[in-house]
């Protein structure tokens, strides 16, 4: 895959006159002794603004609820709000004293991004320009790192998006599988003009997530490989310094915790930003992404140099904007970073930039009309509100669709006689199916991710271990102690999407017991589960490929796989049935207990 040389080389054009010019006098007494006026220190300040995990959010709008976005913390989302914050900072600092970068996961996540990947795809002949490209071009991004979700729609969609962007997509550790050369520009270099003659050369190194090799195996296998962030940073940072970079910033689509969700399937760390700061000398700051957490400012000491590297992660979806402020001083014939710090701005303090909303109003209206198409009716209202701690019909609906789809696919084959089980997670606690008309947005809201469906072969013993691992999601709660549902889940920061409920067997989860011994009364067909019995598990590709690090599933025999997204399978199922009747599929297959007594 040839590099785009224009984007690879970046821009070396002069970028304006700096405003921060002040400095203290150097050795004034000595200067007076020689009859010379005191010299002034040469100083320059600039700011790097950063976003991450935008996930297709331009407007402050929730396409699944068809209204303005809101959450319990009253966050707002979208590039239209980020644009306003960026304009304010540029006005304060001077436009030419700022850079704007992103840390990845840009073109997946909302129905707006889905529509222009699948319904009216940007890859079509004379196809549209992606809304995220339009918005980011209009705001004036300088560079963006690749996120793992950039690969969800396949490499052709990503390449078309790259072509439509006026800025480079960076991925120093996204390599062509055959040549092992960078498949995307590794870095971006920009000169910041100062009032002192010598420009400040700022390099941005982009790093993406090695987990792409697992999570999007179907799209990248044999085409690209993704080595570890630390390895590639150690390769590129010295090169950037030798090329004259005065400041090196890493934009990393990788969290800072040093953990991985894919276990030992890859020899690389998923959330490696902190390790990069610790192990690789020569980095001044890291814009962190991927983890969907908020880190205004965090310092990591480099082991080799003792220098502190500043890290910051702005919250997802355009809810925050990171500001890295750099103060430089001219010493010994070069610019040196004297001080670097970070902070975040909250986008809920800003109005949407009308320039951005006007630019994309037609695209927004098309998607709103699309998601409001009626595809069927429901005999009862269903909600995921209690899904994390109760077996609710709306999760049973997902499992029913998956079981029917897999059973149909295996019909007439060698595994047709095996019982089909299904796993599903509560991806959103606000998803709902109303009584009456059901629209695309209602059905799609159950499955906000682009996961596809697979069938894997498990034994009864493996299934029990799978369920035990899933049950670590609950906080251990002694029998008789008060139970607060809000404090019962997400033990050890396990996200909702990494708790699986399995349909087709019955079991209890005893939350009074320690992790690893919570699954009791596990049965199939009214009888105790046979550890040697074989089952087909309908499972999403994220889980099947190791996402969440559940035991056995990644190494289990694959019996079937589908390329269609599960949410589209759900939409198609509702269209085909016409009517959703919970009485036909809803049942209480699992429940939480304490010493045999139900929690709810």
Question: DSSP assignment of 194-230, as one string?
Answer: -TTSSPEEEEEEEE--TTHHHHTHHHHTTTEE---HH
**Could you read off the pLDDT tens digit of each residue along the chain, which spans 600 residues?**
444 433 443 433 333 333 333 333 344 444 444 555 556 789 999 999 999 999 999 999 999 888 999 988 999 999 999 999 999 999 999 999 999 999 999 999 899 999 999 999 999 999 999 999 999 999 999 999 999 999 999 999 999 999 999 999 999 999 999 999 999 999 999 999 998 879 999 999 999 999 999 888 889 999 999 999 999 999 999 999 999 999 999 999 999 999 887 777 789 999 999 999 999 999 999 999 999 999 999 999 999 999 999 999 999 999 999 999 999 999 989 999 999 999 999 999 999 999 999 999 999 999 999 999 999 999 999 999 999 999 999 999 999 999 999 999 999 999 999 999 999 999 999 999 999 999 999 998 899 887 889 999 999 999 999 999 999 999 999 999 999 999 999 999 999 999 999 999 999 999 999 999 999 999 999 999 999 999 999 999 999 988 899 999 999 999 988 867 899 899 999 999 999 999 999 999 999 999 999 999
147 in Cβ contact with 103 (< 8 Å): yes
Compute the Cα dihedral for 127, 133, 139, 140 and give only its sign: negative
Which of 425, 493, 487 shows the shortest CA–CA distance to 259? 493
Beta-sheet strands, E only, within 466-533: 501-503, 506-510, 519-524, 527-528
3-class SS at 583? helix
Task: State the Cα–Cα distance between residues 505 and 434, nearest whole angstrom.
Answer: 28
Residue 565's CB: how many other CB atoms inside 10 A?
A: 22
> Alpha carbon of 565 to those of 127, 445, 452, 541: distances in Å?
22, 13, 4, 10
Radius of gyration of the chain (CA): 26
511 in Cβ contact with 594 (< 8 Å): yes
Task: State the Cα–Cα distance between residues 519 and 2, nearest whole angstrom.
Answer: 52
N- to C-terminal Cα distance for the chain? 56
3-class SS at 11? coil
Which stretches within 243-378 are classed as H helix? 273-279, 354-359, 361-371
Record the pTM: 0.81
106 in Cβ contact with 57 (< 8 Å): no
């Amino acid at each position: 895959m040839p590099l785009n040389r224009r984007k690879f080389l970046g821009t070396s054009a002069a970028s304006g006159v700096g405003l921060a010019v002040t400095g203290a006098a150097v050795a004034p007494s000595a200067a007076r002794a020689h009859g010379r006026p005191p010299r002034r220190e040469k100083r320059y300040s600039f700011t790097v603004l950063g976003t991450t995990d935008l996930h297709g959010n331009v407007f402050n709008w929730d396409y699944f609820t068809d209204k303005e976005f809101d959450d319990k913390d009253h966050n707002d989302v979208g590039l239209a709000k980020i644009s306003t914050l960026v304009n304010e900072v540029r006005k304060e600092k001077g436009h030419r004293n700022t850079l704007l970068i992103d840390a990845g996961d840009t073109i997946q996540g909302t129905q707006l991004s889905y529509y222009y990947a699948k319904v009216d795809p940007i890859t079509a002949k004379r196809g549209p320009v992606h809304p995220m490209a339009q918005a980011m071009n209009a705001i004036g991004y300088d560079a963006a790192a690749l996120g793992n979700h950039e690969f969800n729609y396949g490499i052709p969609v990503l390449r078309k998006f790259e072509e439509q962007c006026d800025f480079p997509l960076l991925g120093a550790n996204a390599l062509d599988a055959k040549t092992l050369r960078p498949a995307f520009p590794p870095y971006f270099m920009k000169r910041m003009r100062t009032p002192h003659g010598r420009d400040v050369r700022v390099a941005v190194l982009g790093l993406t997530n090695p987990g792409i090799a697992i999570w999007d195996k179907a799209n990248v296998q044999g085409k690209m490989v993704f080595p570890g962030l630390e390895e590639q940073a150690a390769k590129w940072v010295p090169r950037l310094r030798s090329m004259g970079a005065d400041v090196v910033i890493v934009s990393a689509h990788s969290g800072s915790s040093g953990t991985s969700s894919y276990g030992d399937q890859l020899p690389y760390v998923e959330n490696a930003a902190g390790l990069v700061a610790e192990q690789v000398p020569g980095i001044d700051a890291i814009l962190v992404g991927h983890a969907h957490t908020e880190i205004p400012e965090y310092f990591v000491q480099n082991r080799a140099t003792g220098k502190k590297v500043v890290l910051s992660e702005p919250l997802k979806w355009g809810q925050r904007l990171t500001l890295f402020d750099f103060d430089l001083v001219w010493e010994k014939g070069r610019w040196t970073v004297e001080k670097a710090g970070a902070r975040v701005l909250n986008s809920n303090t800003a109005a949407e930039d009308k320039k951005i909303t006007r630019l994309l109003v037609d695209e927004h209206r098309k998607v709103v009309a699309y998601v409001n198409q009626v595809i069927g009716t429901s005999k009862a209202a269903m909600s995921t509100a209690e899904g994390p701690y109760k077996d609710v019909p709306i999760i049973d609906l997902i499992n029913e669709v998956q079981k029917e789809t897999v059973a149909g696919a295996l019909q007439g084959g060698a595994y047709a006689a095996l019982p089909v089980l299904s796993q599903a997670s509560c991806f959103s606690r606000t998803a709902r199916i109303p009584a009456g008309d059901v629209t695309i947005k209602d059905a799609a809201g159950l499955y906000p991710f682009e996961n596809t469906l697979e069938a894997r072969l498990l034994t009864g013993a493996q299934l029990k271990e799978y369920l035990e691992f899933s049950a670590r999601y609950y906080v251990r709660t002694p029998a008789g102690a008060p139970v607060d549902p809000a404090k019962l889940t997400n033990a050890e920061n396990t996200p909702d999407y990494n708790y699986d409920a399995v349909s087709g067997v019955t079991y209890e989860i005893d939350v009074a017991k320690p992790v690893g011994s919570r699954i009791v009364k596990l049965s199939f067909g009214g009888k105790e589960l046979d550890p040697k019995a074989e089952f087909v598990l309908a499972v999403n590709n994220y889980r099947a490929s190791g996402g969440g690090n559940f035991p056995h599933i990644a190494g289990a025999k694959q019996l079937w796989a589908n390329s269609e997204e599960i949410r589209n399978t759900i939409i198609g199922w509702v269209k085909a049935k016409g009517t959703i009747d919970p009485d036909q599929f809803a049942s209480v297959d699992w429940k939480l207990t304490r010493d045999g007594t139900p929690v709810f």
